[in-house]
Amino acid sequence: MKKTGNHTRSTSLLRKYIFILIGAILLFPISFPAVGGIFYLVMDTFYEAKKPVYYNNIRLEEEVHQTANRLGGASKTEIEQEISLLKEKYPQSSLFWVNNDDLLERTWGEPKHVKENWDATAALDFMKKSYYADPFTVLAFIGEGQDEGFMVFQISKEYLGEKMNRYIEVYGGYYYIGGVIAVFVLFLVISYIFFHRIRKRLVDLQQAMTSNDISAIPEPVDVGKRDEIGLLKETFNDMIETLKTSRKKEQEEERLRRELIANLSHDLRTPLTVLRGQMYTIQRQIESEEGRNAIAVADDKITYLSELIENLLSYSLLSSHRYPYHEKEVNLVQIIRRCVADWYAIFEQHDFEVDINLPEEKMVMRLDPKWLQRIVDNVFQNVLRHAEEGRYMQVGMKEGEKAITLWITDKGPGFAGSVVHSEGTGVGLRIIALMTKDMNIDWNVHSDHNGSTHYFVWKKPFHIGESEGRGEMS
């Protein structure tokens, strides 16, 4: 199901990001004239919106001179009409007319620096005040000479392009730099979106791979785009399919193994029972001490083999959750006393010193007494088989503020100096591990060269009348 090739390379994340970098490199120098042009258009539109009309000062000066030149030899009425038309065309302007006698004839609007008498000195002073000043002023002589008077045109520089050019010179650089920064910010935003999407897809994949249940197999994920992450998701889905197939095969093999153990256990019980009966008959007919000892050893091995077969069957049932569990309210101390009584004679035959340290008061809780007895029996079997050298066993129990503790101690060689926890060594101890786990009993074995101690702890509070552990099973 692995998919590679040109399609993957053409949609690779690396290539996409290279395209983003190349686009940014090409866009950055182009942004200077582009942003400048955009800024000029925006500022021009903004400036036009603030004033009614935009006038060009050069064209305006030419128009005033042309009008004054046409008025050469015109009558007073004609001059007034032409100047009035000019005022109507430029309503923001102010005008005045001085006749050929150097006297103020008429004004339009509110012109500045106006006088009644205009000799050469007054005209020269007026020109000096108006030069490079606001308002913009144009003085034009009527006709071709200077003996027919003159007209003056004034308009605020606010309505000319000159002020806008100064505005651009002062503030244009800031907006220009701001535009370039905007292009850079745009690159950062696009890069952030690109990597944010990558991170989101990786986080989704991580969440699909994360599970609180270590035994659970994750569900397949949506592949989406077939880039590097898409191929990673495809590989993840392939792994899930492989795990499901392997899990199914493992479960089938486990089922067959358990069935084989169960069938072998049942099949071996009958010949062992017949063999034990025949050994008992042979023992009655043998008179020599050596023969009887040999028969006793053989009988002991048959007993051990029978116990092993029983443990194998129990382990198979426990691991498949088919071992019967019927809990009820019991006296924990009484069950332990009965277990010790059942094994006491056997331990005496093997010259064991048995130290019993059990309380007199009841300790009531709810559990399956057969399960508890099976746990204690397996510990006693382990002591009898592996701690015969020390020939000592102590069974004790005490109730504390937070728990009830049962311990079984021997003085055998120990488990090679190790500390055995819930896994155990051998089928018997593995059965104990499964049973204590299902019954919510904390079990630990502390072992060294001086012996071993099994600790079984029931933590308080005990909910009498409610099920603990596995509960009812069939």
Q: Is residue 219 part of a domain?
A: no
Would you say residue 215 has pLDDT above 70? no
For residues 108 and 202, state if they share a domain: no
Highest mean pLDDT among 13-17, 78-82, 189-193: 78-82
Q: Is residue 222 part of a domain?
A: no
With beta carbons less than 8 A apart as the criterion, state whether 368 and 326 touch: yes
- The residues that bridge with 357 in the sheet, in sequence order, are 396
Among 159, 178, 197, the domain-final residue is 159
In 3D, which of 381, 415, 378, 379 has the Cα closest to residue 395? 379
- The residues that bridge with 451 in the sheet, in sequence order, are 448
d(CA 4, CA 1): 10
Average pLDDT score over the chain:
79
Q: Provide the pLDDT for residue 265.
A: 66
For residues 67 and 198, state if they share a domain: no
The CA–CA distances, whole Å, from 91 to 10, 80, 83, 110, 152 equal 66, 16, 12, 11, 15
Which two structure tokens, joined as six digits, stand for 150?
């003159």
For residues 137 and 204, state if they share a domain: no
Q: 330 is in which domain, residue-wise?
A: 325-459
Residue with tokens 């370039």: 180
**Weakest mean pLDDT among 64-73, 83-92, 308-317:** 308-317
Would you say residue 473 has pLDDT above 60? no
The model's pTM: 0.44
User: How does pLDDT run across 35-57, given as a tens digit for each residue?
Assistant: 666 666 666 666 555 544 567 88
CATH code of residue 330: 3.30.565.10
**The total number of structural domains that make up the chain:** 4
- pLDDT grade, residue 169 (50/70/90)? low
User: How does pLDDT run across 359-389, given as a tens digit for each residue?
Assistant: 999 999 899 999 999 899 889 988 988 888 8
Would you say residue 397 has pLDDT above 90? yes
For residues 427 and 330, state if they share a domain: yes
For residues 23 and 172, state if they share a domain: yes
Among 143, 159, 175, the domain-final residue is 159
- pLDDT grade, residue 418 (50/70/90)? very low
d(CA 21, CA 465): 72
Among 293, 316, 339, the domain-final residue is 316
- Cβ-based neighbour number of residue 86 at 10 Å: 18
Q: Provide the pLDDT for residue 213.
A: 66
Q: Of all residues in the chain, what percent carry a pLDDT higher than 70?
A: 78
d(CA 212, CA 432): 27
- pLDDT grade, residue 456 (50/70/90)? very high
Would you say residue 394 has pLDDT above 80? yes
Q: Is residue 218 part of a domain?
A: no
**Weakest mean pLDDT among 11-25, 61-75, 338-352:** 11-25
With beta carbons less than 8 A apart as the criterion, state whether 378 and 338 touch: no
Q: Is residue 465 part of a domain?
A: no
For residues 272 and 415, state if they share a domain: no
For residues 358 and 382, state if they share a domain: yes
- 13-16's contacts with Cβ under 8 Å and 24+ in sequence apart are 13/198, 13/227, 13/228, 13/229, 14/228, 16/194, 16/227
The CA–CA distances, whole Å, from 251 to 239, 243, 284, 452, 473 equal 18, 12, 50, 36, 21
Q: Provide the pLDDT for residue 419.
A: 41
Would you say residue 390 has pLDDT above 70? yes
Q: Is residue 420 part of a domain?
A: yes
In 3D, which of 39, 44, 42 has the Cα closest to residue 54? 44
For residues 452 and 340, state if they share a domain: yes
Q: What is the arithmetic mean of pLDDT over 440-456? A: 92
